[in-house]
Amino acid sequence: MCEAFQVTAQEWADGPALRHKDTDYEASWAEYAEAVRRRAAGFAKLGVTRGDTVGFMLVNRPALHLTDAAAMHLGATCFSVYNTSSPEQVEYVVRDAGNRVIVTEQAFLDTVLAARDSIADLEHVVVIDGEPPEGTISVSELEAMGDPDFDFEAAWRAVEPEDVLCLIYTSGTTGPPKGVQLTHANMVAVWRACDAVQATKPGGRMISFLPSAHIADRWAGLYAQMFYGNCVFCCPDPRQMVAYSIEVKPTVWGGVPRIWEKLKAAIEIGIAAEADEAKREATVAAIELGRRRARAQMNGGAPAELEAEWKRADEQVLSKVRALLGLDEVESFVVGAAPTPPEVLEFFLALGIEIRETWGMSETTAITTLNPPGGIRVGTVGPPIPNTEVKLAEDGEVMVRGPQVMLGYRNLPEKTAEALSGDGWLLTGDIGEFDEHGYLRIVDRKKELIINAAGKNMSPANIEAKLKAASTLIAQAVAIGDNRPYNVALIVLDAESLAARGASADDQTVADEVAEAVEEANARLSRVEQIKRYKLLSGEWVPGSEELTPTMKLKRRPIERKYESEIEALYS
């Protein structure tokens, strides 16, 4: 990865590399590379060398790229801490990683210093903004302390493919987070494979908005640009990502399903609020035409007449919708990290936005399967990427072998042995199935399957997806039914959808619409899967809360414990 960075920085020296939302900050690739050299020298003065670890607790901002890449060039292993972490959680991860240096900003300084007080080995705190307090180091001080004669080139050329590039700490849905060790070779292999599926044009634009502690942002936001010379636009507040895309007009657009779900809801609300009846009806008709075309394409191809009709609708209506969203110059849309409701993918296909669902894990360096451009199949996560083997165990568990599979879990040899077989197969914990085209479909997490009192196996994720797809009012749904006679659900309302309607959670119209949504979802489920009773919960579930991981995965066991009385009432 160091070599990739250096080659790209030379080829794109005068091109833009980093921008920061709501500021006039811009760094060229030449400036990026020079900052990396200075900060690497400073880290070396602090004693950072090949094989050491360096931690980060920062929002999405250029400082992360500049400083993380500097440590990488010394052969250090970098990792980020989720910004919602408590001092105790920071302490746990830092102890496990064993880093002596952590880089942070004023917003998280108290949390980091509280953790430092408990960790004798955490010697240096680098603060990238404001006035660093006594006992910490500013970025300018870090750069100034470097030895002018430090041999930067010798340092980065000493880094080997099998050196650990980064640690990704799992979000801890079932226990303490585990440090996934990914090597330089892992990351290079994944990007070579992804490029073989769809070559990315160099010099593009992308927005970094997901947490850098998550593999998705490191894979796409930090390391991808080292191959392609992209300009990364840093968006510190993920809620502003869609609005920012209108300004940036990205060429690569990736995200988690919730982003697309909320965008779909916003578009539908906008269409419904259109005062011009003719314009509203034309938009609805164009989207319906797009749906017909999308379904035809997935079943052998759209007839010439339908294709011509869609092109007219695209020119007159749909292209204008994409332009309003800032998505008219995107070459590649990717979604992953959690199941995406098929209705969402089909809706955007109708708009002419081909979102290619992917599947992978931190343990597989983000990507294992990927829907190819022009050949997506909604409801699947695509075929395996090149040089990757995927097979199913007898119980349906997905197993992966290839150059992107992790080195192992840090300090956890027993957990590593449980996950990795002797012949290199990774047991993913996901249950899957292949369709007749060789595309993988993920059913659910192995440990999260509902097995009811009658012994019937069900996927809660499938049930939850149907509920969320039935109404834009539903932000989160949790299906419950393990060892129970029937399924129930906890439902959380979407605050933005309520605000857009001028409604509150107590309105009868809201209760009626949720009831209709549950009925609609049940109509699409088998009888045993259907939700018999449900409870509307007040408040909002945010990333990093008791209910959601920082990457918006449901914390099922904590949810069941917290809402035990509400759940028991549904069965009384």
pLDDT digits (tens, 9 = 90+) for 354-372: 899 999 999 999 999 999 9
Burial of 145 (0-12, 13-18, 19+ CB in 10 A): middle
448 pLDDT more than 90:
no
Residue 261 has pLDDT above 90, yes or no: no
Percent of the residues in the chain that have a pLDDT greater than 90, as a whole number = 59
Residue 223 pLDDT more than 70? yes
Please give the residue that has the higher pLDDT: either 566 or 343.
Answer: 566
Question: Residue 16: pLDDT above 70?
Answer: yes
Which one-letter amino acid corresponds to residue 50? R
pLDDT class of 259 with cuts at 50, 70, 90: confident
Give me the pLDDT at residue 268, please. Answer: 86
172 band by pLDDT with thresholds 50, 70 and 90: low
Average pLDDT across the chain, whole number: 91
Domain ranges of the chain: 2-14+28-159, 257-447, 449-571
Confidence class of residue 174 from pLDDT cuts 50, 70 and 90?
low
Domain over 449-571 is classified CATH 3.30.300.30: yes
Task: Report the distance separating Cα 429 and Cα 276, nearest Å.
Answer: 50
> At residue 404, does pLDDT exceed 60?
yes
What average pLDDT does range 201-229 have in this prediction? Answer: 93
Q: Residue holding tokens 């900052």?
A: 35
Asked if 317 contacts 282 with a C-beta cutoff of 8 angstroms, the reply is yes
Bridge partners of 113, per DSSP, are none
Q: Which two tokens stand for residue 300?
A: 């052998």
Residue 330 has pLDDT above 70, yes or no: yes
pTM of the model: 0.83
The pLDDT value recorded for residue 85 is: 83
Confidence of residue 173 (pLDDT cuts 50, 70, 90): low
Q: What is the pLDDT of residue 243?
A: 85
- Identical topology for domains 2-14+28-159 and 449-571: no
pLDDT of residue 72: 98
Residue 449 near residue 434, CB atoms below 8 Å: no
Contact 537, 488 (CB under 8 A): no
Instruction: Give residue 492's pLDDT.
Output: 94
| CA-to-CA dists, residue 328 to 315, 332, 351, 441, 496, angstroms | 12, 11, 11, 29, 25
| Cα–Cα nearest to 486, from 527, 525, 429 | 527
Query: pLDDT tens-digit profile of 107-145?
Result: 999 999 998 999 989 999 999 999 999 999 999 999 999
CATH no., domain 2-14+28-159: 3.40.50.980
Residue identified by tokens 């209760």 is 511
Tokens read off for 316: 């007159």
Q: Which helix (H) or strand (E) holds 335?
A: strand 332-335
Q: What superfamily would CATH give domain 257-447?
A: ANL, N-terminal domain (3.40.50.12780)
pLDDT on residue 344? 87
* Section 397-409 average pLDDT: 96
| β-bridge partners, 534 | 489
Section 507-528 average pLDDT:
90
Distance separating alpha carbons of residues 349 and 21, to the nearest angstrom: 29
CA dist list (Å): 201 to 204, 209, 227, 332: 7, 21, 10, 10
Question: In this predicted structure, which of 23-37, 403-417, 489-503, 506-520 has the lowest mean pLDDT?
Answer: 489-503
pLDDT value of residue 175: 63
CA torsion through residues 440, 446, 451, 455, sign: positive
Report the pLDDT value the prediction gives residue 482, as an integer from 0 to 100: 87
Using 50, 70 and 90 to split pLDDT, how confident is the model at 171?
low
